[in-house]
Each structure stands twice: as C-alpha cells, then as structure tokens.
Amino acid sequence: MGSGKSTMAISHINDNQNKKFLCIVPLLKECERYEKKTNIDIIDPEKWGSKWKHFRWLVENDKNIVTTHALIQKMDLDMLELLKSKDYSLMIDECLDVLSPYKISKDDIKIIFNEHLVSLDENGFLVWNEDKKPYKGVYGDIKRLCSFKSLMGFKKDNSDELARILMWNFPVDFFKCFEESYIFTYLWDGSIQKSYFDIHGIKYEKYMLDENKKLIPHNKTLEYEKRRKAIDLINIYDGKFNDIGMKIGKSNPLSKSWYEDKRKKNVSIFNQLKKNTENYFRTVTNTKSFNNMYMVFKPYCKYIKGEGYAKGFVSCNARGTNEFREKKSLAYLINFFMQPDIKQFIDHYHIEFDEDLYALSALLQWIWRSQIRDGQPIDIYIPSERMRMLLKFWMEKCQELKNIA
C-alpha cells in the first residue's frame, strides 16, 4: 500500500531474468508499467479473436506474461493442465477475487441434487455425476465448473439440508502450477484470499519490505513503525456532519443494506448526506473539485454526487493505481462489510475472519490512492462511526510506536 510493492516486484523480475514470469495486476495501466519497466520481453495478451486465445498461445510458447485480474478469472481445466507443465513464477499484485456466490435459484439447487446431476465430495466440492457426462442443457456451466473444482456447497450444521448458496471458488489447483508464487498486498490477514487459502490448506509465509525495500519476514511492530509517519498526514473530520452515521441499536448506518433500505423507505436522507458532503468540501476543506474524491456504493452515486465533487468518484476497489495522487480532500461515505454469503461460507469452515480488519484494509487501500502516497497531507470525512473508529484505532497503534521511537 504505497510502500513500493510493485517496484519491488519489477526489481525481482529484473534480477531473475533466467526465470519465466506470469504477472497478474489489477489494471491494464499496470500491464503497461510492467512492459516498460522490466528488462525482459513481457507481453500483455491482445485480442486474437479473444485475449484468452492469445494468453494460451503465450503460455504454450513459454513467453513472459503480464495480464489483469479480470482475464485470469477465465481460468479453465485446459489452462491449468498447460500451466502445470511450464514452470512459471507467479507474481500477483493485490489479492484476487477468489470467492463469489454462484448465481442460482434455490429451486435449481434442489433440482441438480434431487436429480443426481451433482453430489458433494468429502471436501465440499460439487462433483458432476459420471452417468450424466454427455449432458448438454441449462446446467452446462455447472458441469464445466465441476470439471476443475470451482463450485462448493455445504450442508447446514447438524442437518442434511443443503445451504441455500453455492460458492464459486477460483480454481485451487492454479496455485499448485508454479515454481514460486508471490502475492503483494497490505493487511493480508484481513483479506478473503487469506481465508480461501486456509479453507483449502494452501500454505504461505508472510514477508514485508524493510526500509531498504528488501524482503524480510513479516514483523507487526515494524509494520506499524513504517506507517508512523503517515498518521501525521491524516486529518479526520470530527463534527456535526458525522451525525448521520452514528450507530443506534443494531443499525449499521451507511452499510449497503442501509442504503438499500433508505432507497425504499426514506430516500430524503440521501439529500442530507449529499448536503453534508457538499458543505464539507466547501466550508471545511475549501478545495477545488479537481482535488476532491469520494466513495459511495456505485448504484447510489446518482443520489449522493453533488457540487464540487461530482466527478471525483473513486471506487472502493481502486487498487494498484496511481492516477488519483492529486486528490487531497476525501469523503468515504460507506460502512464496509463482507458479503453475507461469503461470510457464511467462511464461517462454515470455522476459519477465524476479522471483518473489522477487512473493512480497515479496504479503507486504507482507498485512502492510499490519494496524495498521501507521495507523503502529502489529506483531509477525510468518514461519517460512519464504525469506519471512523477503525481508522482512528489504527492511527493510535501507529502513534504508540511513534512515541516509543
């Protein structure tokens, strides 16, 4: 997170030109960076009918490759078999999306099990019935995903009843295809990919960059110490504009469900949030629209965007990009939680997951798109009481180490 992970990855490639690399980055612009900064011939797949077709050709011909998270999501059985034979080194910039609820109705779940099209193996993967191999029909996609273990289900605790969800898993065998693998991210312990690794028994070791940009075993104290300079650059707004995000009872103001509920029952509250944000940028920070950025769940932009920041929307998953580094006044207008279906899936396997750390990680990644990544100060409005306190607690931890130092 602004600590030079991508630069270190490029340096590693340049220092090991005898190896063959597959690099996976969040954005196409980062592909261009790898092509320009590495001292090897590394290729971003082009559209040969499809990018996937070119990607396959590049692997078949032992080329160094840089591609996006989006393309690698198309992974299939044939590509897994091909990669296993090629001895690539894997470099992933930011965590992949490795779990996603599979879109299927409750009735269809009953049909595929009751008609014995699929069953669950001992690890929870859906297995296509061998007797139904010639099948061509509406469940063809499920059959395809079963072929490389990408669908999982589970029975409810103390019951034979299947849970209402099926979970798409990025193919686990992908991570067994490589001579070595690196994932460059911040707050790994708060990531979904960490839980996915734990569920599937994928072993990993945690490292970090020291002050000299060298890899060393992860040290939590040193991690906070590295961030201690940043806390003086963050000015969190405290004032009446925060009232809209105060937690009352069991409510979770500014969460996705809160937005959905207010859209149906009390859309006028969006006008209040919009006015608060306009007033914050106009009277508190008094910054030009060019320097302002905000975050809200995308379907609600039309309700919240306002004068002075309408063109400053930056998605909460805008990772691995430097294009917003001129932004110095920020408004983070959400209360971030994991998708309930993914949480239920992880909980089923009794994997400990810190949802607050997950939310903090998303917030920090978003903040570090701004000019703070260049050591410049920022102002931020976080009306969600929960999100604001998570950031303050993180800053206090850094402050403790700063005072000790």
pLDDT tens per residue across span 303-356? 999 999 999 999 887 665 667 989 999 999 999 999 999 999 999 999 999 999
Q: Which residues contact 39 (CB under 8 A, 6 or more apart)?
A: 13, 14, 17
* For residues 189-205, average pLDDT: 96
The confidence score (pLDDT) of residue 215 equals 84
Looking at residue 229, what is its pLDDT? 77
Show me where the domains of the chain are located.
5-96+174-218, 100-169, 228-404
Cα four-point dihedral sign 185, 82, 66, 144: negative
Residues with Cβ within 8 Å of 74's Cβ and at least 6 positions away in sequence, in order, are 52
User: What pLDDT was estimated at residue 59?
Assistant: 98
Of the chain, the percentage scoring pLDDT greater than 90 comes to 74
Residue 268 confidence class, pLDDT cut points 50, 70, 90: very high
Q: Output phi, psi for 313, to 5 deg.
A: -65, 130
Backbone angles phi, psi at 53, to 5 degrees: -65, -45
Q: Whole-angstrom Cα distance, residue 160 to residue 156?
A: 7
Among 41-55, 113-127, 211-225, 342-356, the minimum mean pLDDT is found in 211-225
Q: Are 62 and 87 in contact (CB under 8 A)?
A: no
3-class secondary structure for 24-80?
A: EECCHHHHHHHHHHCCCCEECCCCECEHHHHHHHHHHCCCEEEEEHHHHCCCCHHHH
Name the pLDDT band for 369 (thresholds 50, 70, 90). Answer: very high
Residue 338 pLDDT? 95
Q: Is the dihedral of CA 121, 150, 338, 106 positive or negative?
A: negative
Q: By CB neighbour count within 10 A (0-12 exposed, 13-18 middle, 19+ buried), where does 361 fall? A: buried
Element (H, E) at 329: strand 329-332
Q: Which distant-in-sequence residues (6+ apart) come within 8 Å of 132 by Cβ?
A: 116, 117, 143
Q: What does the alpha-carbon distance between residue 365 and residue 338 come to, in Å, rounded to a whole number? A: 16
Q: What is the 3-state secondary structure (H, E, C) of 261-312?
A: HHHHHCCHHHHHHHHHHHHHHHHHHCCCHHHEEEECCHHHHHHHCCCCCCCC
Instruction: Give, in order, the Cα–Cα distances in Å from 199 to each of 180, 190, 194.
Output: 20, 15, 9
pLDDT surpasses 60 at 373:
yes
pLDDT beyond 60 at 403: no
Average pLDDT over residues 227-239: 90
> Counting Cβ atoms within 10 Å, is residue 343 exposed (0-12), middle (13-18) or buried (19+)?
middle
Render pLDDT for 246-262 as a digit per residue (tens, 0 to 9). Answer: 998 888 999 999 999 99
Determine how many CB atoms are found less than 10 A away from the CB of residue 369: 24
Residues 145-178 have pLDDT tens digits of 999 999 999 877 766 777 778 999 999 999 999 9
Report pLDDT for 274. 98
Angstrom CA distances, 249 to 51, 246, 252, 268, stand at: 50, 10, 9, 21
> What distance in Å separates the CA atoms of residue 188 and residue 193, rounded to the nearest whole number?
8
The pairing of strands 64-68 and 42-43 is parallel
Would you state the CATH architecture of domain 5-96+174-218? 3-Layer(aba) Sandwich (3.40)
The pLDDT score that the predictor gives to residue 321 is: 62
Cα distance between residue 42 and residue 25, in whole Å: 13
